[in-house]
């Protein structure tokens, strides 16, 4: 008769998968770049037609950069319609005065004033685009507007629309 052979199977351990990687991310979103300006109308000054100039402060202008970008940079611009009373026009200049800032040292700002106000936007305040820091920052100034009173000026209210923007 023949021999009966019983075979038993021994389970071998499963091979382990050495390691595995999973990429995980956090998405941080920045805020906005905004500018706030004084509500108008603002009476800058009152004086006689015999004055050579009249000056007054417009009120606080503030740029708030909550974009949290690196590098941080932006440029504020100002333009204005002519100061007019009917057909009579005054020329005017714009001086930021002292600019205060948070978040980035004032040495990183470029401040160019006084500027002659015109309908062409000009840049009174620029955050140096090479600033390697980043993060949130603000700049605030209270500009002085100075009008030149020409000989033969007529009395009345001279009005202009002063426009500030930031990019």
**Is residue 13 a part of any domain in this protein?**
no
The CATH number that applies at residue 154 is 2.60.40
Provide the whole-model pTM: 0.82
User: CA-CA distance, 93 to 112, in Å (whole number)?
Assistant: 12
Residue 7 has a pLDDT of 57
- Digit-by-digit pLDDT tens for the chain (167 residues) are 566 655 565 666 666 678 999 999 988 888 999 999 999 899 999 999 999 999 999 999 999 999 988 888 999 999 999 999 999 999 999 999 999 999 888 888 999 989 999 999 999 999 887 777 777 999 999 999 999 999 989 999 999 999 999 99
**Is residue 143 a part of any domain in this protein?**
yes
Given strand 137-141, what is the order of strands in its sheet? Answer: 33-36, 61-65, 137-141, 100-102
**Is residue 10 a part of any domain in this protein?**
no
Q: Which domain holds residue 78?
A: 33-166
**Is residue 67 a part of any domain in this protein?**
yes
- Beta bridge mates, 62: 36, 140
User: CA-CA distance, 121 to 107, in Å (whole number)?
Assistant: 24
Residue 18 has a pLDDT of 85
**Is residue 21 a part of any domain in this protein?**
no
Q: Which tokens sit at 165? A: 């923007």
Residue 106 has a pLDDT of 86
Residue 64 has a pLDDT of 96
**Is residue 108 a part of any domain in this protein?**
yes
User: CA-CA distance, 157 to 110, in Å (whole number)?
Assistant: 34
**Is residue 106 a part of any domain in this protein?**
yes
Q: Which tokens sit at 19? A: 């390691």
Residue 105 has a pLDDT of 87
How many domains, the chain?
Answer: 1
Closest CA to 136 of 96, 103, 89, 100: 103
**Is residue 132 a part of any domain in this protein?**
yes
């Amino acid at each position: 008769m023949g021999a009966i052979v019983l075979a038993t199977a021994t389970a071998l351990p499963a091979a382990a998968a050495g390691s595995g990687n999973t990429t995980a991310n956090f998405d941080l979103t920045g805020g906005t770049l905004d500018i706030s300006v004084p509500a108008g109308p603002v009476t800058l000054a009152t004086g006689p037609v015999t004055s050579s100039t009249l000056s007054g402060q417009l009120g606080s202008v503030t740029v708030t950069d909550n974009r949290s970008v690196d590098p941080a940079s932006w440029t504020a611009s100002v333009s204005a319609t002519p100061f007019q009373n009917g057909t009579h026009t005054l020329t005017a200049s714009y001086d930021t005065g002292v600019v205060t800032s948070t978040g980035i040292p004032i040495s990183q700002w470029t401040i160019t004033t006084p500027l002659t106000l015109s309908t062409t936007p000009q840049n009174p305040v620029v955050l140096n685009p090479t600033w390697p820091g980043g993060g949130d920052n603000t700049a605030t100034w209270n500009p002085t507007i100075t009008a030149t009173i020409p000989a033969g000026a007529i009395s009345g209210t001279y009005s202009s629309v002063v426009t500030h923007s930031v990019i």
